[in-house]
Amino acid sequence: MSKRNRLTKYANAAPSVQRRLCRQICPPPDNRFQSVALLLLGALLGALAMLFLAPKSGKATRRRLKEQAGNLAGKLKTKRPAATQKSGLSRISNWGNYPQTEVKVYEFEDIATLRKIVTGTNNIIARGNGRCYGDSALAANVISSLKYNKFLSFDAQQGIIRCQAGVLLSELLDVVVPQGWFLPVTPGTKKITVGGAIASDVHGKSQHKAGNFSDHVVAFDLMLGDGSVVTCSKEENPELYWTTCGGMGLTGVVLHATLRLLPVETAYFKQESIKAKNLQELMDLFEESESWPYSVAWIDCMTRGKNMGRGILMRGRHARVSDLEKPAQRQNPLRLKSKMGLNVPFFMPGFVLNPLSMKIFNTLYFHRQRARQVTSVVDYNAFFYPLDIISNWNRIYGKRGFTQYQFILPKESSRQGMQEILQKIVDRGMVSFLAVLKLYGKQHGYLPFAMEGYSLALDFPIVDGLFEFLDELDQIVLAYGGRLYLTKDVRMGRDMFMQSYPNAEKFINHLKQINQNFKFRSYQSDRIGITQ
């Protein structure tokens, strides 16, 4: 059988056949590198398939390939400096590599320097590690907190840590885990700053139980537009506290924070992965798993019919020493060996992620787990941050970048709403490489993303027509009483924001008092009508 035939056969085969084929290509997983390997394999197969399956356009494709390879080589040779020296502007973008902007970036290492910047500049926004996907941390003037990154105190008895806002969660874990502590709330990457975690009021797999980041912040200091520094907590200046948590940097610059940690026996998690044939079954599993402290599901959003929304639910809890199987782990339950990471050193050509390669990846991923249910003990990096092992993985989406469309629907309407949205995605042939489903609980604050309901996060490469398509999805989300996650958003319009966030008006009125003349503003806050 020719390669072309084999690949076509594979991609179009019935699930049971795919399962068999898949196992021949790749045996079930035993370490986290396998998902990486799968990803690369899927991309490669897809790219090859594109070449072979389109014999007529083969020449053109090959020419394009050659061009892109040429571009690439050229780029590697002439590394453009990050800052255009003359204008003093830097070219930056956040995680989605879209939009690309030229802005002025300020840095500070002490409060006096920051105060000078804040009082002397308009149109400013704080920026942490740029892990939001869109334009939340972008404005004409960006204040980077990355050099303001010192630990101030750590009480290893009580589990209270105080640090400057530029400290990364990864650095924080390096410090606290060996002493038997963990973050009660952590998102799917540890490469974010404490300031960014507060401003987006991030959440993670524990949201339904532990709430959001703000629920575990004891206090923080905030620099306002006039350069004054105010301490905020749930007791002291609570209004300012709740406007800042989830306030997307619009109240000022978070300087320091004191966080309450969670005691743990080990750096490991006991995890169960359960396969579900379709969306409804997956949601049943979520509802059965509500007592588990951590849960999330990956779904294959490229399958139609009765298998639509098939996926794998992962639920877990902190492992006790007695859960650990390997003697080395038991001996040192709080210390992880450092593992080698991978890197995507440059932007992949746009064609690598195509519908076929994604379909192959999704199918391989679904079938690599043979049994319906698998129990394992994994370290916290594998449990929370599987994507972090590949630095710059966002580059696989190519230079045009990508966006994440993350929405939430109320629990009552979720089953129907999710079904409708998935159907629409499949019907349109829109392709999401990564889709993550989770059941949420309530969230405090003025602009909470979470509510009791289901959220789905979809990664889309930026292609012509995408934003129009997402506008259509917005209408469905709105009709079901849902909303979009601001820290992932890059395109929603003013109406969508104002209609879907019930306290938007209140937030804006309140913000007017705190942030006079909207000195702090981002491209996002202008776009969605908060500051314009």
Partner 1 sequence: MSHVLILGAASDMAQALAYKFAAEGFDITLAARNSGRLADVAPDLEIRHGISAGVAEFDALGFAGHADFYTNLPHPPDVVICVFGYLGTQETAQSNFAEAKKIIDTNYTGAVSILNIVANDFEQRGSGTIIGISSVAGDRGRQSNYLYGSAKAAFTAYLSGLRNRLAKKNVHVLTVKPGFVRTKMTAGMPLPGPVTAKPSRVAADVFAAFQKQRNVVYTMRIWQLIMLLIRHIPEPIFKRLNL
Options 134, 184, 204, 453; binder of ligand FAD; rule CB under 6 A: 204
Check binding of 151 to partner 1 (CB under 8 A).
yes
Q: Which stretch binds partner 1 (CB under 8 A): 150-158, 338-346, 368-376, 445-453?
A: 150-158
Distance separating alpha carbons of residues 311 and 243, to the nearest angstrom: 36
Give the three-state DSSP class for 219.
strand
The entry of partner 1, ligand FAD, none that residue 171 binds, CB within 5 to 8 Å by partner kind: partner 1
Cβ-based nearer residue to partner 1, 47 or 161 = 161
Q: How many residues bind ligand FAD (CB under 6 A)?
A: 34
The entry of ligand FAD, partner 1, none that residue 188 binds, CB within 5 to 8 Å by partner kind: ligand FAD
Options 17, 44, 152, 371; binder of partner 1; rule CB under 8 A: 152
Q: How far is the CB of 151 from partner 1 (least distance, A)?
A: 4
Options 26, 140, 175, 508; binder of partner 1; rule CB under 8 A: 175
> CB neighbours of 300 closer than 8 A, spacing ≥ 6?
309, 310, 311, 362, 363, 365, 366, 435
Cβ(502)–Cβ(483) below 8 Å: no
Check binding of 137 to ligand FAD (CB under 6 A).
yes
Check binding of 195 to ligand FAD (CB under 6 A).
yes
Q: How far is the CB of 301 from ligand FAD (least distance, A)?
A: 17
Cβ-based nearer residue to partner 1, 1 or 82 = 82
The entry of partner 1, ligand FAD, none that residue 248 binds, CB within 5 to 8 Å by partner kind: ligand FAD
The helices-and-strands tally (H runs, E runs) of the chain is 18, 22
Check binding of 157 to partner 1 (CB under 8 A).
no
Cβ-based nearer residue to partner 1, 179 or 369 = 179
Q: Cite the beta strand spans of 224-299 per DSSP E.
A: 229-232, 253-260, 262-263, 268-276, 294-299
**C-alpha separations of 68 from 234, 342, 410 in Å:** 53, 23, 45
- Which structure tokens are listed for 149? 């990154």
The entry of ligand FAD, partner 1, none that residue 175 binds, CB within 5 to 8 Å by partner kind: partner 1
Query: How long is the chain?
Result: 532
Give the three-state DSSP class for 20.
helix
User: 432-445: b or e for each residue (b if 16 or more CB lie within 10 Å)?
Assistant: bbbbbbbbbbebbb
- 284-290: which pairs have CB atoms within 8 A and are 24 or more residues apart? 285/313, 286/313, 286/437, 286/438, 286/439, 286/454, 287/439, 289/313, 289/315, 290/208, 290/439
The entry of ligand FAD, partner 1, none that residue 189 binds, CB within 5 to 8 Å by partner kind: ligand FAD
Options 38, 92, 125, 161; binder of ligand FAD; rule CB under 6 A: 125
Check binding of 253 to ligand FAD (CB under 6 A).
yes
Beta bridge partners of 268: 379
Radius of gyration of the chain (CA): 23
Binding mask 330-359 for ligand FAD (x = CB under 6 A): ------------------------------
The entry of partner 1, ligand FAD, none that residue 126 binds, CB within 5 to 8 Å by partner kind: ligand FAD
Cβ-based nearer residue to ligand FAD, 180 or 293 = 293
User: 281-318: b or e for each residue (b if 16 or more CB lie within 10 Å)?
Assistant: ebbebbeebeebbbbbbbbbbbbeeeebbbbbbbbbeb
Check binding of 93 to ligand FAD (CB under 6 A).
no
Beta bridge partners of 484: 407
Check binding of 455 to ligand FAD (CB under 6 A).
no
Distance separating alpha carbons of residues 428 and 358, to the nearest angstrom: 15
Cβ(45)–Cβ(386) below 8 Å: no
The entry of ligand FAD, partner 1, none that residue 187 binds, CB within 5 to 8 Å by partner kind: ligand FAD
Q: Which of these, 526, 459, 453, 520, lies nearest to 488 by C-alpha position?
A: 459
Check binding of 95 to ligand FAD (CB under 6 A).
yes
Q: How far is the CB of 231 from partner 1 (least distance, A)?
A: 18
Check binding of 150 to partner 1 (CB under 8 A).
yes
Q: Cite the beta strand spans of 267-425 per DSSP E.
A: 268-276, 294-299, 311-318, 342-343, 373-379, 390-391, 402-410
Options 171, 215, 272, 526; binder of partner 1; rule CB under 8 A: 171
Q: Cite the beta strand spans of 109-252 per DSSP E.
A: 124-127, 141-144, 151-155, 160-164, 181-182, 217-223, 229-232
Check binding of 412 to partner 1 (CB under 8 A).
no
Check binding of 452 to partner 1 (CB under 8 A).
no
Q: Rule CB under 8 A: which residues touch partner 1? A: 79, 110, 150-154, 161, 164, 171, 174-175
Q: Rule CB under 6 A: which residues touch ligand FAD? A: 94-95, 125-132, 136-137, 145, 165, 187-189, 192-193, 195-197, 199-200, 202-204, 248-249, 253-254, 387, 487, 522
